[in-house]
Amino acid sequence: MDLFLFLTFALIAVGCAMNLLAQRHPISSALSLIGVMVSLAVIYLLLGAEFIAAVQVIVYAGAIMVLFVFVIMLLNAGEEARTRRSLLVRLFGIPLFAVFLTLTGYAVYLAFADEPAVKFGAFVGTTEALGQSLFREYLLPFEVTSVLILVAILGAVVLARKEVR
């Protein structure tokens, strides 16, 4: 059952990701990205990381992607025109992609071949366990990240602010 669900949602995720590239309209691409986010959340859930799964849906699918869709709608972005691809791309595009895929796959295989396979549901992803490790073991990285995000927000405000004479 776990394997069946994993395969289903992994396929949906990959399918949505490819659809994202294939679609010509930004809204359709954004929708495909939402599909990727939600299927990733299901995979987290299969691993037992329930909190991460919920946060994935709330933050990525429910907030960030709404913002994406908002901006696309606000700018009223239309369908993209298909350009004629350059000779280089047409000749070497697919072979180079295949080489890249093989190399990445081989690197991943080299790195993780000896590791035992992931067991579904084995990961301790309860909210409590996550909170404990976040605020005990990884307190410094957590705080540094939050300061980093604060700096980014301040930067955005400064950039967006109109000059007052």
Sort 164 into a burial class: Cβ within 10 Å, 0-12 / 13-18 / 19+. exposed
Would you state the structure tokens that stand for residue 89, as one six-digit string?
């791309």
CB of 36 to another protein, least distance (A): 14
Between residues 63 and 99, which has the closer beta carbon with respect to another protein?
Answer: 63
Q: Backbone dihedral region of 119: left (phi > 0), alpha (psi from -120 to 50 degrees) or beta? A: beta
Ranges of H-type helices in 48-121: 50-55, 65-75, 87-112
Nearer of residues 70 and 106 to another protein, judged by Cβ: 70
Q: How far is the CB of 7 from another protein (least distance, A)?
A: 23
Judged by CB, which is closer to another protein: 58, or 98?
A: 58
Beta carbon nearer to another protein, 16 or 57: 57
Q: Toward another protein, which CB reaches closer, 6 or 62?
A: 62
Q: Using the structure block, give the residue that is written with the tokens 């913002």.
A: 67
Rounded to 5 degrees, what angle do the CA atoms 149, 54, 49 make?
Answer: 100
Site of interaction with another protein (CB under 8 A): 27, 31, 34, 38, 50-51, 54-55, 57-58, 61-63, 66-67, 69-70, 73-74, 126-127
Shortest distance, position 136 Cβ to another protein, whole Å: 16
Closest contact distance (angstroms) between CB of 114 and another protein is 33
Residue 57 C-beta: closest distance to another protein, Å: 4
**What residue type is assigned to position 121 of the chain?**
G
Q: Which of 37, 19, 44 is nearest to 121 (CA)?
A: 44
